Structure formats: structure tokens, C-alpha cells
């Protein structure tokens, strides 16, 4: 990460110098070098319970505990043409414990742990007229996948009340082919009366698999590609001093290996198979956001989204958040979100897929469901800082989530801004 950050900062300084060389002779502006303006620190704790794990074919423990931390550094500078340059460097770190992934191995260890690391870089240039252009790069790695993302984004102001935003992004993933222990190609199981189950490979070697995620000899696990391309457009309009509205359209195209090989599927004849899904998927979300300012102290933030894809899922999302400013430095934000979707044509519960089905999954995220998410946010920003003058604001949010598939979760997050 240090090498990445220094490289990006070096390139940024070259960009800044290039802009200064092209300044107009009559300009009175002076370039201001890149300067750290803000630091944001976010930490959250998430806990989930359920009984429809895809690892065990749509039944079984979905217990998950996740601790997430993120650090963002924001740098700002100006070139000789008075274009504002913003550079954001982020580093995210998640650590989770999942009961369901323990059963990738038939022996079923008590739990497994995983860590995800995801740095990102975002550069944006804003001109005097408010128009922007920027680039972003993202990387994420976990035990079963790696992802590299790139984007180009920008905005154009047609007036002080109308703004058009656009973004094109691409993500290139590599998914490790981690199979359930009894379905590993070319491997047969040899149960023992005590200790772990041993497996015999096609070459005749005997190995011990740890939770189905690899063997003691650290054999290389092959990967399959998954590519995601997204084009997003939004139009924001200020209607009057009390009301603002924006419309959002996204077009998402995915190709490659879109399932997960350690998801089991049980058929009506009692046989077990690896989840099998099409190698392409197209998604179309359409959204509208409306904000209404009721005086100076209350804001109604509403959001609605319709979603459809070629896997047969149609969904609706409705959301309301009402920030209430109790004084100039303290506000509360109750929120509520309702979601409903139809089932994918490739989904069926445990042991209900037919032997004639070409595609099949028992992952309940693709089932018919509805969910509710509700909670409260608290924002504090006193004029002389929190604890010290360098901590300019603090936000705490708690949310409780329930899903009609008997899954529920709780999340609490803390965010601090350092100036």
C-alpha cells in the first residue's frame, strides 16, 4: 500500500506541474500544492443469524460476525488555471467469522475466519464552472477471490440548479474454485474414526483438507474469471429552495463464472451438485431520490428504486430518512427501508431442483423475499471539535435488518472526521 500511495502522489504532482505549465499568461492565480485536508475513519460491527446457508444446500447455520475498518485520506490542491484537484486514498480491512463456510468440508469445523483488504485511489478535477472529471482504481483480496476495478467519472452543470453525472466502471475478478470436500474433482474421501477426514487425489497422494478451503500441502487452487461492467447516469435538479430531485439509471453487464463452487445444491433424487448458474447476467436498476427541506431543522430524504435482470428477479426498494437538527451541532436521523423481490428462475429450496434442470441454485439471496431495515443515526459536530479540535465531527449509526427468509442482523458503525 505504501508503494501504491507514493506512486499515485508522485503522478499527481506531475499532473499538477503539467497544468501549471499550460496556464494562461494573464492569469493571476497561483498553484497550491497537494495538501492533506481531511481524514475519515470508519469502523463497524456486524452480526447475522439465519438458517438457509447456501454452503449446505439452502439449510444450515448462516451465523456471521464481521468487524470492518476503513481509513480515508483526502488531499486537495489547485493548478495555475484554478482547477481544483482532489485525491482520495482509502484502505479498508474486514475480518469475519462465518459458521456456514466451515461446512465446505463435510467434517464441519466449528467456524472459519476470513480477512478482506481493499485499497482504492480516486482523483477528481473540478473546474471553475463546476464541471468535473476523474479516475478511480480499486483492489480487493480475500481467501476465495481477487478483484481489480477501474472507473472514469464526471459531471456537467447546465445551470446552478441542474447537474448531470456519469460514471463507467469495470471490475475484473478471479474466483477460486473451492469445491465442497466430497465434490472435489478427482478426489475421493477416506473417513477415519478419529481426527480429520483424509482425501485421496487422482495421483494417489493422501492429503488432509482444512475446512474444505485447501490441503496441508498448500496445493494451488485454480481460479475462474468474472467481469462486471457498469454504466451509470444521474440527473440532479433543484426544483425550489425546499425540494431537490435526482434520477438514476444503471446498466450492469456480468460475464464469466457467476456462481460459487462451494455452494451445494441437492436434487429431488437425493444427489448433491455444485451450484450452476449462467455465465452472463444483465441488470437494470432505475432510481429516483427526492429531498424536501421542512424549514432549517428537518429534512425528508426519500428514495425509490426499481430493479430487473435477465435471471428473472424484479425488485422494489423504498427508503425514508428524516434528519432532525436539534441544535446547530447535533442531529438525529431515524431511517427505514423496505425491499421486496421475486425469485430467480434458477432458484429452488433444498432438494427441490429436478434432475432435468440445467441451471440450479439454493442460495436464498436469489429467492423470493422481502426485508426491512430500520435504525437511527446521530451526528455531532461542535465548533471546537470532539475530544480535541482536530476531530471535527462524529457519527454513530445503528440498524436492525430482518428478512422473510428468517435471516436477521444488526450493525453499528462509528465515523470520525479529522481536519
pLDDT tens by residue, 368-382: 999 999 999 999 999
Q: Is 220 helix (H, G, I), strand (E, B) or coil?
A: coil
Strands 298-309 and 272-274: unpaired
Q: What is the pLDDT of residue 21?
A: 39
Reported as a pLDDT band with limits 50, 70 and 90, residue 2 is very low
Q: What is the pLDDT of residue 220?
A: 63
Q: Where in the chain is the domain with CATH 2.40.160.40?
A: 2-178+221-418
Q: What is the pLDDT of residues 331-363, one digit of tens each?
A: 999 999 999 999 999 999 999 999 999 999 999
**CB-based contacts of 243, cutoff 8 Å, min separation 6:** 290, 291, 292, 293
Q: What is the pLDDT of residue 112?
A: 74
Q: What is the pLDDT of residues 264-286, one digit of tens each?
A: 999 999 999 999 999 999 999 99
Percent residues over pLDDT 70 in the chain: 84
Calpha distance 2→147 (Å, rounded): 19
Classified by CATH at the fold level, domain 2-178+221-418 comes out as: Porin (2.40.160)
Whether 263 has a pLDDT exceeding 60, the answer reads: yes
Q: In this structure, is the dihedral angle defined by the CA atoms of residues 32, 33, 37 and 43, taken in order, positive or negative?
A: positive
**Short-list 367, 374, 352, CA closest to 404:** 367
Whether 213 has a pLDDT exceeding 60, the answer reads: no
Q: What is the pLDDT of residue 9?
A: 37
Which 8-state DSSP code applies to residue 4? H
pTM score, two decimals? 0.85
Average predicted confidence (pLDDT) for the chain: 87
Which residue in the block uniquely carries the three cell numbers 446498466? 251
**Short-list 279, 179, 191, CA closest to 228:** 279
**301 contacts 334 by C-beta, under 8 angstroms:** no
Helices in 138-255 by DSSP H: which ranges? none
Reported as a pLDDT band with limits 50, 70 and 90, residue 294 is very high
**Short-list 88, 135, 94, CA closest to 114:** 94
Amino acid at each position: 500500500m505504501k508503494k501504491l500511495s507514493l506512486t499515485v502522489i508522485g503522478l499527481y504532482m506531475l499532473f499538477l506541474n503539467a497544468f501549471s505549465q499550460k496556464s494562461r499568461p494573464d492569469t493571476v492565480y497561483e498553484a497550491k500544492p497537494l495538501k492533506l485536508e481531511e481524514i475519515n475513519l470508519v469502523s463497524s460491527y456486524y452480526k447475522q443469524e439465519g438458517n438457509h446457508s447456501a454452503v449446505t444446500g439452502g439449510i444450515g447455520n448462516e451465523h456471521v460476525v464481521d468487524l470492518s475498518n476503513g481509513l480515508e485520506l483526502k488531499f486537495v490542491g489547485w493548478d495555475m488555471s484554478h482547477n481544483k484537484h482532489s485525491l482520495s486514498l482509502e484502505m479498508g480491512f474486514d475480518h469475519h467469522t462465518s459458521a456456514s463456510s466451515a461446512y465446505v468440508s463435510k467434517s464441519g469445523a466449528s467456524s472459519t475466519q476470513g480477512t478482506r483488504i481493499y485499497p482504492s485511489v480516486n482523483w477528481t478535477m473540478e473546474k471553475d464552472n463546476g464541471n468535473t472529471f476523474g479516475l478511480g482504481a480499486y483492489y480487493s483480496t480475500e481467501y476465495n477471490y481477487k478483484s481489480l476495478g477501474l472507473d472514469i467519472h464526471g459531471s456537467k452543470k447546465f445551470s446552478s440548479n441542474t447537474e448531470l453525472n456519469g460514471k463507467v466502471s469495470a471490475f475484473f475478478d478471479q474466483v477460486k474454485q473451492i469445491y465442497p470436500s466430497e465434490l472435489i474433482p478427482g478426489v475421493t474421501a477416506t473417513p477415519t474414526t478419529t481426527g480429520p477426514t483424509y482425501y485421496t487425489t487422482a495421483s494417489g497422494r493422501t492429503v488432509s483438507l482444512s475446512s474444505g478451503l485447501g490441503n496441508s500441502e498448500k496445493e494451488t487452487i485454480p481460479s475462474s474469471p468474472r467481469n462486471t461492467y457498469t454504466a451509470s447516469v444521474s440527473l440532479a435538479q433543484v426544483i425550489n429552495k425546499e425540494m431537490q430531485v435526482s434520477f438514476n439509471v444503471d446498466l450492469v453487464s456480468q460475464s464469466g463464472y457467476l456462481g460459487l463452487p462451494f455452494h451445494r445444491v441437492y436434487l429431488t433424487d437425493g444427489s448433491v451438485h455444485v451450484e450452476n448458474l449462467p455465465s452472463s447476467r444483465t441488470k437494470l436498476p432505475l432510481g429516483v431520490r427526492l429531498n424536501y427541506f421542512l424549514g432549517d431543522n428537518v429534512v425528508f430524504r426519500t428514495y425509490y428504486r426499481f430493479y430487473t435482470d435477465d435471471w428473472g428477479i424484479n425488485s422494489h426498494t423504498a427508503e425514508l430518512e428524516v434528519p432532525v437538527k436539534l441544535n446547530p451541532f447535533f442531529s438525529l436521523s431515524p431511517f427505514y427501508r423496505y425491499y421486496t423481490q421475486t425469485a430467480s428462475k434458477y432458484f429452488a429450496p433444498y432438494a427441490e431442483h429436478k434432475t432435468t434442470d440445467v441451471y440450479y441454485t439454493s442460495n436464498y439471496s436469489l429467492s423470493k423475499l422481502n426485508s426491512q431495515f430500520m435504525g437511527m443515526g446521530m451526528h455531532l459536530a461542535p465548533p471546537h471539535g470532539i475530544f480535541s479540535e482536530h476531530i471535527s465531527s462524529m457519527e454513530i449509526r445503528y440498524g436492525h435488518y430482518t428478512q422473510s427468509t428468517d435471516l436477521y442482523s444488526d450493525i453499528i458503525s462509528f465515523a470520525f472526521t479529522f481536519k
